[in-house]
Amino acid sequence: MATFLYRLGRLAFRRRHFVALIWVALLTLAGVGAASAPAAGNSSFSIPGTEAQKAFDLLEQRFPGMSADGATARVVFKAPDGEKMTDAAHKATVEKTVKELSDGSEVASVADPYEGNAVSKDGSIAYASVSYKVSGMELEDSSRDALETAADEARDAGLTVEIGGDALQTTPETGATEIIGIAIAAVVLVITFGSLLAAGLPLLTAIVGVGIGVSTIAALAAALDLGSTTSTLASMIGLAVGIDYALFIVSRYRAELAEGRSREDAAGRAVGTAGSAVVFAGLTVVIALVGLSVVNIPMLTKMGVAAAGTVVIAVLIALTMIPALLGFAGRRVRPAGEKSKLLGGGRAKSAAKAAKPNMGTRWASFVVRRPVAVLLLGVLGLGAAAVPAASLELGLPDDGAQPTSTTQRKAYDLLSEGFGPGFNGPLLIVVDAKGSDDAKAAFTEVGDEIKGLKDVVTVTPAAPNKAGDTATITVIPDSKPSSASTEELVHAIRDKGSEIKASTDTEVLVTGSTAMNIDVSQKLNDALIPYLILVVGLAFLLLIVVFRSILVPLKAALGFLLSVMAALGAVVAVFQWGWLSGLMGVEETGPVMSMMPIFMVGVVFGLAMDYEVFLVTRMREAYVHGEKPSQAVVTGFRHGARVVTAAAVIMMAVFAGFIGSSESMIKMIGFGLAIAVFFDAFIVRMAIVPAVLALLGKRAWWLPKWLDRALPNVDVEGEGLRTRSDAGDEDRELVRA
């Protein structure tokens, strides 16, 4: 592989005008496609194989026009102190508001509080339920504006009015955070390279890659039902890996120049060596992202595949566009160790300073001398950070997790005050009595059975459809939606439903947003182990091919599990226990988002393997070329530690920018990914990995002979390049090709 990529790098360097033209054309084509594509709504949300989804599908069949999965809003009214919502003036205001809300084109129905018994016992609080024909993410802005305008008019009449429900759900804006990440990345690159031009190349290529990827997603969004969250994840991952991959190749190019090679040969060797690492690092990220399909949640599958496509683009750009741009830059990209004149270059260094080992060399030498102490300290530190993960509670955020300043949270609190905490998470029971001899009796029996369960406050009478074979029953729990008691109630109703089905052929299904959240959490939890086995297993096999070793890939996988557990522990400590919550802007603690563990495993594993491949490949290269194992570790750090550090800081900056989001889910993802990269890059890869390799010595690179013969030789370390006589031979081969 190294030889093939060497040829590709030199060809791209030599034919740079043609290569640049191809990428500009692709960017233009993707942009035109995105601009001319039909506007796409947000991706439809379905969870195949869950009871909640089965109930939604049944409702669409038996209750046509009900819009079971449509958006809902609760407009909550509170009378001034000493007054009641039943007072004539307040009643007139509410009825006027209900009438205004009913006029919307997307509104399916509006329930009058006074007709639907939606006034609290003390008369101080009432609410109007608004149902829409489309989901919250598909709702037009005009419908949201009408909702807020009606609330403002009621406020002007002297009432406290707040709005809850998913009708106000919007896609979080992340543009500013991406700009912050790019700005920090630019500073880190300038410090790393000591050159504005060299620093600008990774930024330029990453932006081009993300532009092509996101524009392609936008062009295909309507046809493939891709939501806006798909492009958000693709841009976040694409930007991070795009900068990192280009960073490694530019850094290796400058190192080759420092060894006295010609610029064309240096570009070829940079792509042949660092480019090989980029290919396999990119493959691990792609495996991790595409592997999300095992969860069988269509939205998650589309997000993973789209992000994986952006990673593939980032790899191709790093292998072709980077050497082309290096050709355009010429002598303005200097050899390693030289700075541009603008940043203080050109001054002569003293011999002592030039011979002084860099920080990576000094750190690796220390680790090689004290491997046991470093290993124990690293493992114990990560183990301590992982302790809170034992108390992990999973759930999906509701309005109760919103900041206290939002109208959704205020509406949630008012409803809890007036009607009890369980009122914010009603359970919708769908009773399918098509196979029963007496449907009405079956409906009554189901309601009576549910009333006898623990933690039930209210059970509404069954509301049958026109055919009389299916009915809905609303159950109000005694506990808040995200509590363990509510989850136990859902399971209790389902257990009772199994008993009823066995005796009467009546099927009882539990759905609604609360039940859907519980089902999603369970589905994600059940998929975590299979996903881990698939992703880690495939990557383990891939790393055996790359490193031609059994123990190095095993150590890489175990180190990754350590860093992920430590990161989950940190997430629990901040978002569930409330440690440092003020610093992180966490206003409300609660269960960790159920998607977090599997999402972190997927994204962090791919990125962690990046650092493993880039750092250990350099060690492997030194070992193959004759160095002792301990010296190979030091050599790998001398050439790779500075670049890996810069890559990790850039990655952390991109992810940490999302901590400032007002959305608790985005904030949690940003913090979790940033802290995971910190643990993996600086503790696992920079401390535990060299300590383990130093302890293993030659055994680290052991591979059974039969397996060595069976595996393909991909030559990541570029051994084949050392056998080349000179650049002239290669030039002739390129011409013949």
Q: Write the pLDDT tens digit of every residue in 625-679.
A: 788 888 888 888 887 788 888 888 888 887 787 777 666 677 888 888 889 989 9
How far, in Å, CA of 268 to CA of 7, rounded? 6
Is residue 306 a contact partner of residue 220, using CB atoms and an 8 Å limit?
A: no
Q: Does residue 439 carry a pLDDT above 80?
A: yes
Mean pLDDT computed over 588-604: 79
pLDDT at 312: 94
- The continuous run of DSSP H or E covering 573 comes out as none
Instruction: Classify residue 597 by its DSSP letter.
Output: H
Closest CA to 320 of 220, 424, 212, 401: 212
What pLDDT digit, counting tens, does each position of 71-127 carry? Answer: 788 899 999 988 898 888 999 998 899 888 888 778 888 888 888 778 888 889 998
Whole-number percent of the chain with pLDDT over 70: 88
Bridge partner list, 132: 107
Reported as a pLDDT band with limits 50, 70 and 90, residue 407 is: confident
Residue 328 clears pLDDT 60, i.e. is over it:
yes
Nearest to 118 by CA among 458, 449, 463: 458
Query: Do residues 535 and 601 lie in contact, with contact meaning Cβ atoms separated by under 8 Å?
Result: yes
Report the SS3 class of residue 76: strand
Mean pLDDT across the stretch 412-426? 87
pLDDT of 491 over the 70 cut: yes
Span 293-300, mean pLDDT?
82
Higher pLDDT: 139 or 17? It is 17
**So what's the pLDDT on residue 346?**
47
Average pLDDT value for residue range 476-496: 87
The identity of residue 625, as a single letter, is: H
- For range 334-357, the mean pLDDT: 55
Q: Provide the 10 A C-beta neighbour count for residue 270.
A: 28
- Between 310 and 666, where is the model more confident? 310
Neighbours of 551 (CB within 10 A): 16
User: How sure is the predictor about 309, in pLDDT bands with cuts at 50, 70 and 90?
Assistant: very high
- Write the CA distances from 669 to 70, 200, 283, 524, 674, integer angstroms: 27, 28, 23, 16, 8
**Cβ count near 416 (within 10 Å):** 15
pLDDT tens digits along 394-405: 777 677 767 777
pLDDT of 227 > 70? The answer is no
Smallest CA-to-CA distance from 109 within 149, 150, 72 is with 72
Contact 333, 326 (CB under 8 A): yes
- Other beta carbons less than 10 A from residue 696's beta carbon: 17
The answer for residues whose C-beta is within 8 angstroms of residue 69's C-beta and 6 or more apart is 45, 56, 60, 135
Q: Is residue 736 predicted with pLDDT exceeding 60?
A: no
Confidence of residue 343 (pLDDT cuts 50, 70, 90): very low
* Full 3-state SS string of 679-706: HHHHHHHHHHHHHHHHHHHHHHHCCCHH
**Structure confidence at residue 229 as a pLDDT band (50, 70, 90):** low
Q: What is the pLDDT of residue 374?
A: 93
- β-sheet bridge partners, residue 511: 428
Using the predicted structure, report yes or no on whether residue 571 has a pLDDT greater than 80. yes
pLDDT of residue 206: 87
| The pLDDT value given to residue 726 | 45
pLDDT for 715 beyond 80: no
Amino acid present at 700: A
Whether the Cβ atoms of residue 733 and residue 584 lie closer than 8 Å to each other: no
DSSP E strand boundaries for 356-397: 394-395
Q: What is the DSSP letter of 433?
A: -
Pairing of strands 592-593, 394-395: parallel
C-alpha 658/C-alpha 177 separation (Å) is 6
Query: How are beta strands 427-432 and 470-477 bridged, if at all?
Result: antiparallel
**What pLDDT score was predicted for residue 102?**
85
- At residue 338, the pLDDT reads 64
Q: Find out whether 594 and 580 touch, Cβ atoms under 8 Å.
A: no
Q: What is the pLDDT of residue 735?
A: 36
Dist. CA 522–CA 526, nearest whole Å = 6
- What's the pLDDT at 20? 93
Specify the DSSP element, H or E, that contains 126.
strand 125-132
- pLDDT digit string, tens, across residues 698-708: 888 888 888 88
For the stretch 181-218, pLDDT in tens is 677 777 887 877 767 777 788 888 888 998 998 888 88
Confidence band of 729 (pLDDT split at 50, 70, 90): very low
Q: What is the mean pLDDT of the chain?
A: 82
By DSSP bridging, strand 394-395 and strand 160-164 are unpaired
Query: What is the structure's pLDDT at 730?
Result: 45
* pLDDT score, position 590: 74
Name the band, by pLDDT with cuts 50, 70 and 90, for residue 318.
very high
**Which range (65-69, 131-135, 338-342, 619-623) has the least confidence?**
338-342
Separation of alpha carbons 164 and 400, rounded Å: 10
Percent of the chain whose pLDDT exceeds 90:
15
C-alpha to C-alpha distance for 189 and 647, rounded to whole angstroms = 9
Confidence of residue 176 (pLDDT cuts 50, 70, 90): low
The answer to whether residues 132 and 72 touch, using CB atoms and an 8 Å cutoff, is yes
Q: Report how far residue 372's alpha carbon sits from residue 381's, in angstroms, rounded to the nearest whole number.
A: 14
Q: Please give the residue that has the higher pLDDT: either 271 or 584.
A: 271
- Return the pLDDT at 56: 83
Tell me what the mean pLDDT of segment 168-188 comes to.
65
Q: For residue range 26-42, what is the model confidence (pLDDT) as tens digits?
A: 999 998 988 887 755 54
The pLDDT score that the predictor gives to residue 11 is 93
How much is the average pLDDT of 336-341? 59
State the burial class of residue 714 (Cβ atoms within 10 Å of its Cβ: 0-12, 13-18, 19+).
middle
At 467, is the pLDDT very low, low, confident or very high (cuts 50, 70, 90)? confident
The C-alpha atoms of residue 476 and residue 483 are separated, in whole angstroms, by 13
